[in-house]
Amino acid sequence: MSHQEHGTVVVGADGKKHLQVLQNLDSATVRQLHREYMMPSTFHYYPESLVLQRGDGMFLFDAEGQKYLDFFGGILTVSLGHCHPEVIGAVREQLGTLGHTSTLYQNEWIVRLAQKMAEITPGNMQQSFFSNSGSEADEMAVLLAKLHTGRQEIVALRHSYSGRGMYAISAMGHASWRPIAPVMPGISLMPAPYCYRCPFGQTYPSCDIRCADDVKEVLATTTTGQPAAFIAEPILGVGGFITPPKEYFQKVLEPIRKAGALFICDEVQTGFGRTGTYWNGIEHFGVQPDIMTFAKGIASGMPMAATITSKEIAASFKGLTISTYGGNPISSVAALATIHVMQREDIPQRAARLGNRLRQGLLALQEKFPIIGDVRGMGLMQGIELVEDRKTKEPSAKRANQMIEVLRRRHFLIGKGGLYGNTLRIAPPMLVTESQIDEALAHLDAGLSEVSV
């Protein structure tokens, strides 16, 4: 073994020098290299960031070998847990067969995945375009809607998040994630279905879903009346798991359809069984999207995203398009293996059952701790919003920050989010067990006791 300036190389059985992929750098060294060579805008949890080195199912291990129970799954991405053997097996085999083609050539894995996507999405969703991230999937959806309708305007929701492209930044529903003023004109941000902090000061159900009704006002006052599309997440993920009332989408889509606009459903967080019972979050709301986008959970952690629509809408894209890495064979087989395991394990039902156990536990914690203002979500996508005072609902980002720090010390990882940074996001890999849900609730109980004082 020899040490070089840029890493360690090992001499293999073939007598050649090979790069040693894992060099077991300690956390302090990684943090120091990060400070030196990574752009400082990259956001991390925890004042002293967590340096991860290995994953196994529900667990992560840091550079010092400490083990953590993971209830955030790399932002709802590692659907089946870390390094799932069947996903790794498929990826390994594919790596040794054919790793890259670009979309200039066809291959069997991408079409088999497209066929699966048509099977697990509702209605007439049939033709897919694959890319590498949720940002790209949403960008493609917006482009398709504009091409199909011949219109330009988009209606999106406040508190929504579409990623980091110029469309996404322009449609961003959070000032903190928008580093520059919107650069794409023609985007209207309408009030979100945020019942706990109703933008109209009303209460569900007596509100009669006033926030959905507001779309008429938005169309009449901020658009030409002829937008290309309305885009929404079934549950607003980065927004802090804001969960619309069950009648919301039917009501909001009526004026949208009347105006001749399409509905783009962003399932980047809510897709692939996450919300329980159904494969897609939107199926809880009894409406049919025109275009759907997926990423995160689709391939259990491999970079992969999909935009799916009807044959008719897909045919409106007359120009040329490619994606160099989109739908590459390695990510495609990771997605195929993920869907195969999900179907075998009936993940949507499993997420409903375990999500219900988690939800009941969180509601019990809300009884016990006045700092929990709201519990919301569906399936294995549950959030709790922390407040200083339940009556004033003053958001408590301070307690949310303390909480994830305390939980880290207990070797338990969750996410946080929301406009005020005060919502804890709990979304474990979906092969989580009953006893791990109970363990998670015990950690949350202990953490809430500590930060309530």
Ligand X SMILES: Cc1ncc(COP(=O)(O)O)c(C=O)c1O
Cα–Cα distances (Å) from 111 to 27, 121, 139, 176, 321, in that order, read 42, 15, 22, 39, 17
Q: What's the burial of 128, exposed, middle or buried (CB within 10 Å: 0-12/13-18/19+)? A: buried
- What the block records as the tokens of 317 is 């894209």
**Residue 327, interface with ligand X (CB under 6 A)?**
no
Cα atoms in the Cβ-side hemisphere of radius 13 Å centred on 292:
31
CB of 233 to ligand X, least distance (A): 5
Nearer to ligand X, 80 or 365 (CB): 80
Interface segment toward ligand X; rule CB under 6 A; list 28-36, 158-166, 348-356, 365-373:
158-166
CB of 326 to ligand X, least distance (A): 12
Interface segment toward ligand X; rule CB under 6 A; list 98-106, 160-168, 181-189, 322-330:
160-168
CB of 235 to ligand X, least distance (A): 9
Neighbours of 119 (CB within 10 A): 12
Among 121, 223, 269, 401, binds ligand X (CB under 6 A): 269
Interface segment toward ligand X; rule CB under 6 A; list 83-91, 265-273, 352-360, 433-441:
265-273
Q: What are the start-end ranges of the H helices in 17-121?
A: 27-37, 73-76, 85-95, 108-120
- What the block records as the tokens of 346 is 């009936």
Report whether 158 contacts 189 (CB < 8 A): yes
Interface segment toward ligand X; rule CB under 6 A; list 88-96, 156-164, 193-201, 315-323:
156-164
Q: How far apart are the first and last CA of the chain?
A: 53
Cα–Cα distances (Å) from 321 to 104, 106, 313, 314, 317, in that order, read 10, 14, 15, 12, 9
Nearer to ligand X, 171 or 352 (CB): 171
When CB distances to ligand X are compared, the closest residue is: 134
Among 121, 149, 162, 396, binds ligand X (CB under 6 A): 162
Among 72, 129, 161, 167, binds ligand X (CB under 6 A): 161
CB of 418 to ligand X, least distance (A): 13
**Residue 295, interface with ligand X (CB under 6 A)?**
yes
Enumerate residues 126-155 that contact ligand X by CB under 6 A. 133-135, 138
- What the block records as the tokens of 135 is 């940002």
3 state SS of 53: strand
Amino acid at 369: F
CB of 320 to ligand X, least distance (A): 23
Report whether 149 contacts 260 (CB < 8 A): yes
Among 73, 173, 193, 237, binds ligand X (CB under 6 A): 237
**Residue 266, interface with ligand X (CB under 6 A)?**
yes
Nearer to ligand X, 62 or 385 (CB): 385
Residues that bind ligand X (CB under 6 A): 75, 133-135, 138, 161-164, 233, 237-238, 266, 268-269, 295
